[in-house]
Structure 1
Amino acid sequence: MATLAHSFVRQEVLPRVADEGDENGMGFVIIHPGELGVSILAHWWIQGSVLCQHIYRKLYSATEPMDTVKRPVIACVWELALMNAEQEAWRKTMMKGEPNPLGYMGAWADFEAA
């Protein structure tokens, strides 16, 4: 799954980030092996405070990934908790007069996974 995530980010996400521009050079990736399939959610920050997302979803039984345009999933409840932790870390470390990128990268979610 980590190899798949690296490939997805390199081949699909990074070109989108470059094409769209205005990125902050920071983001995060969630790899979620679910009961029915795997989800890889890549996120990056633009314009100082806007979070962008590109998702890869594939059922274990399928040969091709799901079409995330026709089925515009945002995230499952577990992924949303991680996304919320990331936005809180971003707000606390980067939304200041002097942004702290190292503080953001060193922030950890303050909750226990179920």
Structure 2
Amino acid sequence: MERELPGRLAMEAYRPRLTRALGVVERGQWVLKATGITATEELPSAAEVEAVSELVAGLTPGGIGYLIVHKGAEALWVLVGRWELDILYQRLFRATLGTTEFEEIPGGGPTACVWELAVIDQERRSWVRHVLSYPEQPRYEDYLADTTTIAEADR
């Protein structure tokens, strides 16, 4: 039996999105492994990534983690994930497509979409593999370099 949910929105069939490593962003007190995702075939531009880098530079506290820049169907989404031992702190921002005027999404709003969750899952696995598995000498550089599964995160 198919269940009907009240208020259900129209849904399209799932299709993987182009997802690529964008390098490491080091700004202010931040060191972030950056990943781009796109709903089209156009990854976030260098200007968009630079604007996101400037946004990150002003955030406190800093730390090590990941940055997802997702050129979605209706907005440019930015997820900033910071690891503190085995806990993930994440902030979400959005800008209208074609702009880099970001607004932070308050708590209680969206957290991540299915395409971003594929990258977050990869980041979790990478953090466990390179950092938490070596508590005496965490391998932060290996974590930052680990993009092996991001390119095909969900294909």
**Is 1:105 the counterpart of 2:105 in the alignment?**
no
What is the CA deviation profile of residues 44-91 of structure 1, one whole-angstrom value per residue up to 9, with x for unaligned ones?
111x11111111112338896455116521111110000000000000
1:109 to 1:73, Cα distance in 2 relative to 1, 3 A: farther
Say whether the 8 Å CA contact 2:76–2:94 is kept in structure 1. Answer: yes
1:99 to 1:70, Cα distance in 2 relative to 1, 3 A: closer
State TM-score, norm by structure 1: 0.76
> More strand by proportion, 1 or 2?
2
Separation (CA, whole Å) in 1 of partners of 2:100 and 2:126: 37
Larger Rg: 2
Say whether the 8 Å CA contact 1:8–1:56 is kept in structure 2. Answer: no
Identify unmatched segments of 5+ residues in structure 1.
Answer: 19-24
State TM-score, norm by structure 2: 0.58
Q: Percent identity?
A: 25
Q: Residue 21 of structure 1 corresponds to which residue in structure 2?
A: none
Separation (CA, whole Å) in 2 of partners of 1:49 and 1:105: 16
SS state of the match for residue 90, structure 2?
strand
Q: Residue 17 of structure 1 corresponds to which residue in structure 2?
A: 61
Higher relative contact order (CA 8 A, sep 6+): 2
